[in-house]
Amino acid sequence: MPCARAEVRLPRDTPEMSSPPADRVVLVTGASAGIGLATAERLSAAGWRVVGASRRGSAPGRSVWKGLVMDVDDDESVHLGVVELLASHGRLDAVVAGAGWGLAGPVEHTPLEDAKAQFETNFFGVVRVVSEALGPMRAGAGGRVVIVSSLAGVVGIPFQSFYSASKFALEGYGEALAYEVAPFGIDVTLVQPGNVRTEFTARRRRVVPPPRDPYDAAMERAVGVMERDEAAGAAPELVARAIEGVLDSHRPPRRVSVGKAGERMGVFAKRLLPYRAFERAARSSLGV
Ligand SMILES: NC(=O)c1ccc[n+]([C@@H]2O[C@H](COP(=O)([O-])OP(=O)(O)OC[C@H]3O[C@@H](n4cnc5c(N)ncnc54)[C@H](OP(=O)(O)O)[C@@H]3O)[C@@H](O)[C@H]2O)c1
């Protein structure tokens, strides 16, 4: 049976974003590993009061910031997590929505259930967290929403179509949301990392192929290229630094891409080149 939703009341005179970092509270999702963990560590070291959420609740050996058990796939878990944060800290100034995972497989063989699970975390997980955070931010003096998207939210990645689609969805959502919340002093930024060395690679879920699947060779090649690039990718601390920059900026950008120059070039190439020319150029780096 669904439990009653706890109500949250915030004082109207919550200090502004420009207050010292020590007063500012940030919720980071996906804080038990990778980009979220590096972000929680960096913001905590910079003086933010960090609440780091994940299903594990904490990262082993880390205790400077407060860990919170939260499953972003679950409405009630997200709601109660934000209620707990507000009960402890009385305010919320920023959200870094980083929880996510990857799904690989040919579109033709991907069960709809797997595709929906990908969206449940990567898209609706962000939506749940942001929806809970906006009220407290409006009740205060505004805030910052940082959505961890991906370069895969700009360039479609073969054999990771539903991962890409979930990130493209975030791009549209974040862009639209920005107009709605600007009048309340809330800024939205989409952070687009390229390949980053994290647990993401090992935790990528793969669709089980049928026997003698005609996509097998192409899929292995494409996902293999991606996994090698991730293993040799940027350190998560690079993304954390970019996120801190967004949170500290007076005029945060709507989008920021982070990673190796060659990967980020892809974003510009897609914008500038005729699409067929871009596709031809992208094939080798996508492993197809
Ligand atoms: N690594 C890359 O190359 C790369 C590139 C572009 C974008 N990104 C994006 O960056 C974000 C972070 O990925 P990462 O590379 O840091 O991967 P990671 O090392 O695997 O970390 C993923 C984090 O998300 C959390 N998480 C996953 N499902 C969750 C759920 N249902 N509820 C709450 N937390 C959940 C995990 O914690 P628990 O398992 O403890 O819940 C973990 O803390 C993702 O959105 C990913 O799409 C990554």
Domain boundaries, the chain: 21-286
Q: What is the pLDDT of residues 44-78, one digit of tens each?
A: 999 999 999 999 998 777 668 999 999 999 999 99
Quick: pLDDT tens for 150-159: 999 999 999 9
d(CA 198, CA 228): 12
Report H helices in the chain. Answer: 34-45, 75-89, 112-122, 124-139, 161-181, 200-203, 216-231, 236-248, 261-272, 275-286
Q: Which residues' Cβ are closer than 6 Å to ligand 1?
A: 29-36, 54-56, 70-73, 98-101, 121, 125, 148, 150, 193, 195-196, 198-200, 203, 230, 233, 236
Res. 249 pLDDT band, cuts 50 70 90: very high
Q: What is the pTM of this model?
A: 0.93
Place 284 in a pLDDT band, splitting at 50, 70 and 90: confident
The larger pLDDT score, comparing residue 264 to residue 134, is at 134
Residues marked as catalytic: 32, 149, 163, 167
| pLDDT tens digits along 83-120 | 999 999 999 999 999 999 999 999 999 999 999 999 99
Architecture of the 21-286 domain: 3-Layer(aba) Sandwich (3.40)
Q: Is 154 exposed, middle or buried (0-12, 13-18, 19+ CB in 10 A)?
A: buried
pLDDT value at residue 109? 97
